[in-house]
Structure formats: C-alpha cells, structure tokens
Amino acid sequence: SVDKSNALEVSVLWREVVTKIHQQSYSDVVLSHMYVDNAAMQIIVNPSQFDVLLTGNMFGDILSDLASTLVGSLGMLPSACLGGTVGLFEPVHGSAPDIAGMNKANPIGAILSSAMLFEELKLVELAARIRKAVDQALSDGFRTPDILEDDSIEVGTIEMANVIADRLTEVAV
C-alpha cells in the first residue's frame, strides 16, 4: 500500500483501513506499506519488486505516469477499475485531446485494456492472443509517434490497430 502517512492525516486513515481489510479478507496476500516518495524511487530503481501497487487516485495517477516511462509511453498502458460485479477497462492515457483526430494516438493501451477485460471474463486464451499480437507488432518494428525509434516503422493510430489485428489472426496460444 502506498501512502504518505508520515505527513498526511488522510493517509493515516488509508493505512488503517487497508490493514484492517487485509486482515479481515486478504490475509493470504502479502501486504507492505510504503511512502509515496520511496515508492516513486523504487519504481525506477527496482520495478520488478512490485506485483500490485494499492493507492488512492492522487498518488496512483502520479505513480502510473512515472511507471509509464519504463515501457516508453502512457499510450502503452492498460488499466482496469474493478468493484464488485462491474469493471471499467480503459487505457491509462485518457482522451489525449491535444492529438484527437490526428491519427497519432497509440492504441496499444486500449487494445491491452480489452485483453484485461477478456481475462476478467475468463476468456484467458483470447486475452493471451491479443497480448501476443501486440508483442508481435512491436517485435516487427511498428511504432506510433510516442514510441518511435530510429530503426522502427512509423505508423498512425489506425495503421497500428490494423497491424495488431492482422497479427491477431496469425498468432496461436
């Protein structure tokens, strides 16, 4: 759990509630607490130590933007907000109004969000195929402007989505 309980009273409450829920319902899951400033440093220094970061929106928004640098762009990241019987699956990057309609947005976050949805629906084979299709498109060198490299093939939003769709028909799990 990530908070700032050494400086913010609301984070003291956060930590207490998380600990209580952990003890009552998730005692089989390892729980540790970390201050947000240390979490930010640890994401950069040793990101593989994390499986899940549990935090509120303010810190989560900042940390997810920071973590996006590890994969190259916010456009690469899927997200899911799950609660009870309802889930919302969307890319981390939001609507990107500054590039709306310009065929520059990276669709990978949205596509991987659909894979997360399929996993939640227990369609894990389809989710795995989607992830493999994305991996194959990237391995083949296709890049939207946000992740463009010197030796890659620049494509727009629609072309990247089509490349991934083509790979989806080719990959097997």
Name the percent of the chain lying above pLDDT 70: 99
The DSSP secondary-structure symbol of 29 reads S
Same domain, 62 and 52: yes
Same domain, 83 and 9: no
Same domain, 151 and 96: yes
Same domain, 36 and 16: yes
Same domain, 165 and 94: yes
pTM of the model: 0.80
- Domain enclosing residue 169, as ranges: 73-173
Same domain, 91 and 54: no
- Count the domains in the chain: 2
Same domain, 40 and 101: no
Same domain, 59 and 77: no
Interval 3-45: pLDDT, tens: 999 999 999 999 999 999 999 999 999 999 999 999 999 999 9
pLDDT of residue 71: 87
Q: What is the pairing mode between strands 153-154 and 142-143?
A: parallel
Q: pLDDT band at 173, cuts 50/70/90?
A: low
Interval 104-138: pLDDT, tens: 999 999 999 999 999 999 999 999 999 999 999 99
H-type alpha helices, the chain? 9-25, 36-45, 57-71, 108-120, 124-139, 157-170
Same domain, 129 and 46: no
CA of 59: how far to CAs of 21, 116, 134, in Å?
20, 22, 29
Question: What is the average pLDDT score of the chain?
Answer: 94
- Largest Cα–Cα separation, the chain: 53
Going by C-alpha positions, the residue among 69, 74, 63, 149 that lies closest to residue 113 is: 74
Same domain, 119 and 102: yes
pLDDT of residue 94: 74
